[in-house]
Amino acid sequence: MTPFARRVLDVVDAIPPGRVLTYGDVAELVGSAAPRAVGMVLARHGDEVPWHRVVLASGAPAPGHAPRALLLLREEGAHVRAGRVDLDRARWDG
């Protein structure tokens, strides 16, 4: 695993239950300008961390994972409506 991947996983692992970050937020916190690289790390290693707490800039979960991610987020108490997380209420300040 690369140092970048480890930093991404450490940030995602720190997101509290019921809160979210966007892929761009995670990238910024690890000193990168590459949200897609964050997505690639989570695609490979996401099962090691609460992957569902990272969402698109629109608040929607990653394509292909929406039903499971939304279920997990609702169970944690995140504010979800119309298939998206309410970023104004659920975004973590890191």
Burial class (CB in 10 A: 0-12, 13-18, 19+), 45: middle
What fold, for 3-90? Arc Repressor Mutant, subunit A (1.10.10)
Over residues 4-52, the pLDDT tens digits come to: 999 999 999 999 999 999 999 999 999 999 999 999 999 999 999 999 9
Examine the pLDDT at 94 and tell me if it is beyond 90: no
**CB of 78 closer than 8 Å to CB of 18:** yes
Reported confidence tier of residue 76, pLDDT bands at 50, 70, 90: very high
Domain boundaries, the chain: 3-90
